[in-house]
Amino acid sequence: MDNSKRPLGVIGMVFGDYAMLQRWFDYYAAQVGAENLYLFSHGNDPQHHAIAKGAHVIGVPRDRDVIKFDARRWRMMSHFASGYLNYYNWMLVTDIDEIFAVDPEVSPSLVEYLESKFSDISTAPTSISPLGLNIVHVPEEEPLPIVSDQTILSRRRYFYPSRVYSKPTLVRAPVIFGPGGHRNNLGPRTLSDDLYLIHLKFCDFTDIVARTQNKNGFMDDMVIGGAVDVDKVRREKTLASYQELRNQFILAEENIKLPEFREKMKKQRPKYMNSYIWGNAKSNKLYQIPSRFSGLV
């Protein structure tokens, strides 16, 4: 790596979501140090400042008339990440329910992994994608609730592999991300054998219900503010999506390598200028994440 720069900076953005922010902050602060975290607080919430002590918490206005909110925020984070590459070898951009992790069997931390894997950063890919693991709560198999003094992965192990959440958001070159960070403009993608994006959106049924209600309240505010037409508003579908997942998927064994799934993903194709999307890899199984991951988050 370039020794004149720090190894890795991490960017996130949050509205409310205090419990998940605490998990995000604790994990990434342990990985890179709180001083290398940049958190955009939607609404400049004082509680975000209190949770993310030592991180750089930056207020972003929360107006009811925001149009194309997701595209705006990812464009903002693209520019921020690109600029901070003057001071960091790598920048990672995440949503607050996303844990970007290296297999503990391979390396104890992201920084140590990147330093050993890409000691000569000039030969590294301009962006790296993890394999996306969508954690899904299976209450009949995992009845214990999520509690603050226990890691989520000690109580939730079922996941389905997701090409959509194999997001190219670890970058070493100036970048423009598409909405959600699901694509970038850095050309063909590189899928890591050792990195995983652990997506926690569906990790707890009780939280899914509460989150759906909260986000629909935000959309109601946008309708009231005149930002969107009531007939065109996109309602939050987290609960419906969860129920659909549970109906589609069958329970399966512990497995995280998934070579056939990965090979289908790698048959990527261009979609927009300098942007690629993964091949059409699908699975109808909920696999189990190995227990060695249980202490991460």
**pLDDT tens digits, 286-295:** 999 999 999 9
Range of weakest confidence among 119-128, 157-166, 237-246: 237-246
Average of per-residue pLDDT across 27-56? 97
Look up residue 212 and give its amino acid: T
Residue 19 CB partners (closer than 8 Å, separation 6+): 148, 207
The whole model's pTM is what? 0.89
Task: Read off the pLDDT of each residue in 221-248 and give the average, rounded to a whole number.
Answer: 60
Q: Are 22 and 41 in contact (CB under 8 A)?
A: no
185: left (phi over 0), alpha (psi -120 to 50) or beta: alpha
Region 144-154 average pLDDT: 96
Distance CA 274, CA 189 (A): 10
pLDDT at 226 over 60: no
The whole-number pLDDT of residue 232 equals 47
What is the per-residue pLDDT for 221? 55
Cβ neighbours of 16 (radius 10 Å)? 19
Q: Is the pLDDT of residue 118 over 70?
A: yes
- Average pLDDT of the chain, as a whole number: 90
